Amino acid sequence: MLCWKKKANLFTIFTLTCTLMLVFTCFYWSQQLIHPASLKSILTCRGQFAQDTITPLSDNKTFVITAYFDNRENITRVLSIVQRLEVKHLYCWFCCSLNANVSITVAKIKIGCHRKFPYSVADVLCVEPMNCNPTYVSIHWSPEGDIDQLPTFNIRNRVPKTFSTEFTVCISTMFGNYNNVLQFIQALEMYKLLGAQKVMIYKTNCSQLMEKVLQYYITEGTVEVLLWPINEYLRISPNWHYVNDGKDIGYYAQLATLNDCIYRNMYRSKFVILIDLDEIILPQKHQSWKEMMDELQKQHPDVGMFLFQRFLFPANTLYTMDAFNLSFWTSIPGVNILQYTYRQAQVQAPGKLIVDPRKVIHTSVHKIIKGLGRTQTVSLEMAFIQHCRSVPHSKLQKANLVRDRVLWRYNSSLIKNVNQVIQNVIGN
């Protein structure tokens, strides 16, 4: 996978040699500020404050998500999406809180996983100027220009705080006019039963009924929705791999939202869980995620990233059965996960993650691309992920399925809680 690392070829070796020879000069250059004095007049902090989750820049090839201070590397990390072949130079325009001047530094652009799509998630890394103590930054393709015209980003995470939440679930994207309401409510109630206090959802679009359900959970305080209108800016592909169909970026730019969720929760949440709405991490020895993580951390005190293995529970009518009287639910669109009690015998590679966000520098969906320390794979005796979705019948072989009623352990509280939500949202 081409993530962060470059392929080792002759050109790279040549470049490396040159870099070594020039390292002193280059280092000096990259740390140099481009003095505002070289501009027409001394710039002072103004600009327009960015409000949205996605902010297009004037080159139409760079989209800024959020700026974060990263105290592990002592830099400002601006999470972005860029046209990776065309965006080669970017500048960080810092607004210094000490003297209210603008200081401009050269950005380092770190391209993330792209699977050959023209656009990619990128970390735009900005070394902060000395004697500046910035609270705001703008990103621009030129070291010259009019600060008034540039969108300005608040640099988040400037002050580390002690976290207020134990478990936050990051749902990277909700798209395709999402209407799997019943599975959504069941998943949310399971997350809450297991110990989630917060569920962050990056929403592209969903149905009217789903909007009502989201509003219910926002009011309750469980859900935080971040609007993710990526389809207004780029031609998004529902696929992971580029198939030369004119699409700009893979899978709704999910990697940008996952990384944003990690940084947004850096000082808010002890753990961040990177899963989809059709996945539930089910502890096998413990009642809650907290008890499970306490034991995992005791076993692996140096580890901050844990990979959980997944079993596919096919949501295909062929294998359903009714065990509970859920006639109340039949009017709700979506999958009833209590009905699907067969799973594939083999785990589905790859798994999903629970991480200490302070140990993560850059993440992908199934693995940490850059982090502090190693990732521990969690044994099936400890926990596994129930992944419930429908699959093509051609891919199913009954011989490979085994009965597993793991979710039924939660039947009474789950059914009671789901009923309550349905009653509140739909009324009767």
Ligand X SMILES: *[C@@H]1O[C@H](CO)[C@@H](O)[C@H](O)[C@H]1NC(C)=O
Nearer to ligand X, 101 or 197 (CB): 101
Does residue 233 interact with ligand X by CB under 6 A? no
57-96 residues in contact with ligand X (CB under 6 A) are 58-60, 74
Cα–Cα distance between 415 and 171 in angstroms, integer?
Answer: 23
Of 99-107, 261-269, 278-286, 362-370, which part binds ligand X (CB under 6 A)? 99-107
Cα–Cα distance between 230 and 244 in angstroms, integer?
Answer: 19
Nearer to ligand X, 177 or 219 (CB): 177
Does residue 276 interact with ligand X by CB under 6 A? no
Nearer to ligand X, 94 or 308 (CB): 94
Contacts of 227 (CB under 8 A, 6+ apart): 52, 53, 202, 203
Which ranges of 121-224 would DSSP assign to H, the alpha helix?
181-194, 208-220
Residue in 237, 269, 273, 258 with CA at minimum distance from that of residue 365: 258
Looking at residue 297, its amino acid is Q
Q: How far is the CB of 16 from ligand X (least distance, A)?
A: 25
- 159-176 residues labelled b (16+ CB within 10 A) or e (exposed): eeeebeebbbbbbbbbbe
Cα–Cα distance between 358 and 305 in angstroms, integer?
Answer: 10
Does residue 152 interact with ligand X by CB under 6 A? no
Q: How far is the CB of 303 from ligand X (least distance, A)?
A: 26
Tokens of 303: 């580890």
Does residue 137 interact with ligand X by CB under 6 A? no
Nearer to ligand X, 167 or 410 (CB): 410
Nearer to ligand X, 327 or 397 (CB): 327
Q: How far is the CB of 207 from ligand X (least distance, A)?
A: 10
Local structure of 349: helix, strand or coil: strand
Q: Which of 79, 80, 121, 128 binds ligand X (CB under 6 A)?
A: 128
Does residue 127 interact with ligand X by CB under 6 A? yes
Of 87-95, 259-267, 322-330, 331-339, which part binds ligand X (CB under 6 A)? 322-330
Q: How far is the CB of 178 from ligand X (least distance, A)?
A: 8
Q: How far is the CB of 413 from ligand X (least distance, A)?
A: 7
Cα–Cα distance between 103 and 95 in angstroms, integer?
Answer: 7
Q: Which of 14, 73, 176, 374 binds ligand X (CB under 6 A)?
A: 176
Residue 2: enclosing H or E segment and its boundaries? none
Instruction: Give the count of beta carbons closer than 10 Å to the beta carbon of residue 113.
Output: 20
Q: How far is the CB of 419 from ligand X (least distance, A)?
A: 8
- 127-145 residues labelled b (16+ CB within 10 A) or e (exposed): bbbeebebbbbbbbbebeb
Q: How far is the CB of 405 from ligand X (least distance, A)?
A: 6
Tokens of 215: 């509003």
Q: Which of 15, 32, 48, 99 binds ligand X (CB under 6 A)?
A: 99
* CA-to-CA dists, residue 357 to 47, 62, 289, angstroms: 31, 26, 16
Nearer to ligand X, 215 or 423 (CB): 423
Residue in 373, 237, 366 with CA at minimum distance from that of residue 307: 366
384-423 residues in contact with ligand X (CB under 6 A) are 408, 411-412
Local structure of 141: helix, strand or coil: coil
Does residue 100 interact with ligand X by CB under 6 A? yes
Q: Which of 130, 321, 345, 380 binds ligand X (CB under 6 A)?
A: 130
183-212 residues in contact with ligand X (CB under 6 A) are 204-205
Does residue 175 interact with ligand X by CB under 6 A? yes
For 147: left if phi > 0, alpha if psi spans -120 to 50, otherwise beta; the answer is alpha
Cα–Cα distance between 138 and 149 in angstroms, integer?
Answer: 10
Of 5-13, 53-61, 86-94, 240-248, which part binds ligand X (CB under 6 A)? 53-61
Does residue 327 interact with ligand X by CB under 6 A? yes
**Beta pairing, strands 269-274 & 165-174:** parallel
Q: How far is the CB of 204 from ligand X (least distance, A)?
A: 5
Check if the beta carbon of residue 362 is closer than 8 Å to that of residue 289: no
Q: How far is the CB of 56 from ligand X (least distance, A)?
A: 8
Of 109-117, 175-183, 334-342, 359-367, which part binds ligand X (CB under 6 A)? 175-183
Q: How far is the CB of 58 from ligand X (least distance, A)?
A: 6
Cα–Cα distance between 45 and 228 in angstroms, integer?
Answer: 28
Q: Say how many residues touch ligand X, by CB under 6 A.
A: 25
Instruction: Please provide the size of the chain in residues.
Output: 428
Nearer to ligand X, 176 or 373 (CB): 176
The site for ligand X (CB under 6 A) is made up of 36, 42, 58-60, 74, 99-101, 127-128, 130, 175-177, 204-205, 231, 323, 325, 327-328, 408, 411-412
